[in-house]
Amino acid sequence: MDSGDGATADSAGSDGTPPIDAGEAAADATPETGTDAGSDAGTDAGTDAGTDSSSACTVTFTGSQTFTASSSTQTITLAYPTGAAAGDLLVAYISGGNSQAAVLPVITPPAGWTLQGETDYSTFDSLAVYTRLATASEPATYSWTTDQYILVASWLLSYRGVDPVNPVDFVLGQNDAATGSTFATPSSSTAVANEMVVASFVGFDSTQIATTWSTPAGTTQRADFNNGVARSGSSDDFLQPSAGAVAAVSATASTTQDYAITHLLALRPCQ
Dump the DSSP string for 1-14.
--TT-----S---T
Grade residue 150 by pLDDT with cuts at 50, 70 and 90.
very high
| Residue 257: CB atoms within 10 Å | 26
Distance between CA 56 and CA 199 in Å, rounded? 23
Grade residue 161 by pLDDT with cuts at 50, 70 and 90.
very high
Residue 235 predicted with pLDDT over 50 = yes
- What is the structure's pLDDT at 101? 87
CA 178 from chain centre, in angstroms, equals 21
Distance between CA 141 and CA 118 in Å, rounded? 22
Distance between CA 61 and CA 54 in Å, rounded? 17
For residues 98 and 226, the model is more confident at: 226
Q: Where are the domains of the chain?
A: 41-267
Distance between CA 262 and CA 87 in Å, rounded? 27
As a dihedral over the C-alpha atoms of residue 216, residue 68, residue 93, residue 223, rounded to 10 degrees, the angle is -30
pTM: 0.81
Distance between CA 138 and CA 74 in Å, rounded? 23
Grade residue 99 by pLDDT with cuts at 50, 70 and 90.
confident
| CB neighbour class for 82 (10 Å; exposed up to 12, middle 13-18, buried from 19) | middle
Grade residue 56 by pLDDT with cuts at 50, 70 and 90.
low
Distance between CA 19 and CA 73 in Å, rounded? 9
> Where are the strands (E) in 37-167, listed by range?
60-79, 89-97, 107-108, 114-121, 125-133, 141-160
Confirm if 92 and 141 have CB atoms less than 8 A apart.
no
- What is the structure's pLDDT at 100? 86
Could you give the count of Cα atoms lying within 13 Å of 120 in the half-sphere of its Cβ? 12
Residue 124 predicted with pLDDT over 50 = yes
Any residues with CB less than 8 A from the CB of 62 and at least 6 apart, and which?
39, 41, 44, 47, 81, 83, 84, 85, 88, 158, 159, 160
